[in-house]
Amino acid sequence: MTGTHLPIRVAALYKFARMDDCEAIRGELARICCASGIKGTLLLAPEGINGTIAGSDQAIDGVVAFIRNLPGFSDLDVKYSAAETLPFYRMKVRVKREIVTMGEPHVDPLAGTGHYVAPQDWNALISDPGTILIDTRNDYEVAIGTFAGAIDPGTASFRDFPAWFRAERERLLESGDQPKIAMFCTGGIRCEKSTAFLKSEGIDEVYHLQGGILKYLETIPANHSLWQGECFVFDERVAVGHGLEIGTHELCRACRRPVSQDDRASPLYEAGVSCPACHSERSEAQRAKYAERERQERLARSRGTAHVGASLPNPRDR
């Protein structure tokens, strides 16, 4: 793994499995994480667990071992990377209705998902003219990088994906022959639900990238890659590229969108206050509030402390 000499280990994990007593598990996970100095977010729901955490090797191993000892979680999917400093400020363990929110109660990944495709086999699948390739991520993620030839649904939230597919289904399948549909997302979890959703809609030839974009970027050399751009991640690294090297994007603290080098050269960009994407969405009063927050955060950094109001990327659907 690129960057293994770095002191912080980052673990992105998820697993769909029945979880009967979320509150009891939440309390124990919170205790273990806080006692070992781990930061990040873990989401628990009756359908499973999802999250990203960071800390020392020993601490991360302890949390992963605890989760894998839970009934049904022995094969928990974990993707590791490294960081120079902790990419999160706090530790949150929350109980929710879904670990990735689609809003389709009848869709159950445990009842069946699409066919997994290993990163080494992905290029051949998506290069097939008979394959329809769909990016299941949100519009701000797609904007900074995607696979060549992928369809961008233009969704602001994963919750919008079912309505988009139902509206576009006839156009996508207009040939009459059922094509192969291949989908991908950051770490694989959204595709567990998007492929299960398509199967519930009567589509059988559904495939998804095993381990998501992150596993592809870690596994496939840049000179053999069909990936273009960078991949947005839900922590302070903001985006990564091939080999999981930290990318060039920063985070707009006002709207949580990734900000490119060109965006930062715009007169509408002010660190911590606004970016070209959100400047027109915010009032002067809101920008003044963000400016004061940014000033307080700079003061805290100069003192070597973390500002209690420090803003982070939302742990949205991975």
The pLDDT tens digits of the residues spanning 138-195 come to: 999 999 999 999 999 999 999 999 999 999 999 988 766 778 999 999 999 999 999 9
Q: So what's the pLDDT on residue 13?
A: 93
**What one-character-per-residue DSSP string does the chain give?**
-TTTTSSEEEEEEEEE---S-HHHHHHHHHHHHHHTT-EEEEEEETTEEEEEEEE-HHHHHHHHHHHHTSTT-TT-EEEEEEESS-S-S-EEEEE-S-SS----TT--GGG---EEE-HHHHHHHHHSTTEEEEE-S-HHHHTTEEETT-B----SSGGGHHHHHHHHHHHHTTTSS--EEEEE-SSSHHHHHHHHHHHHTT---EEEETTHHHHHHHHS-GGG--EEE-EE-SSTT-EE-GGG-B-S-EE-TTT--EE-HHHHTSTT-BTTTB-TTTGGGS-HHHHHHHHHHHHHHHHHHHTT---TT---------
| Judgement on whether residues 16 and 119 belong to the same structural domain of the protein | no
% of the chain with per-residue pLDDT over 70: 93
Q: So what's the pLDDT on residue 176?
A: 62
| Judgement on whether residues 217 and 257 belong to the same structural domain of the protein | no
CA nearest 155: which of 131, 179, 174, 137? 137
Where residue 82 falls among pLDDT bands split at 50, 70, 90? confident
Number of structural domains in the chain: 3
Q: Is residue 172 part of a domain?
A: yes
Q: Is the pLDDT of residue 311 over 80?
A: no
Catalytic residue among 22, 33, 34, 185: 185
Q: Is residue 218 part of a domain?
A: yes
Higher pLDDT, 207 or 86: 207
Q: Is the pLDDT of residue 109 over 60?
A: yes
Q: So what's the pLDDT on residue 83?
A: 85
Q: Is residue 101 part of a domain?
A: no
| Judgement on whether residues 87 and 129 belong to the same structural domain of the protein | no
Q: What is the mean pLDDT of residues 19-41?
A: 96
| Judgement on whether residues 175 and 116 belong to the same structural domain of the protein | yes
Q: So what's the pLDDT on residue 305?
A: 66
Annotation says 33 is catalytic: no
Q: So what's the pLDDT on residue 313?
A: 41
- Per the listing, tokens 């299941």 go with 136
Q: Is residue 246 part of a domain?
A: no
| Judgement on whether residues 210 and 273 belong to the same structural domain of the protein | no
The pTM score is 0.85
| Judgement on whether residues 113 and 225 belong to the same structural domain of the protein | yes
Q: So what's the pLDDT on residue 306?
A: 59
Domain that holds residue 135: 109-229
Q: Is the pLDDT of residue 108 over 80?
A: yes
Q: So what's the pLDDT on residue 173?
A: 86
| Judgement on whether residues 209 and 309 belong to the same structural domain of the protein | no
| Judgement on whether residues 28 and 69 belong to the same structural domain of the protein | yes
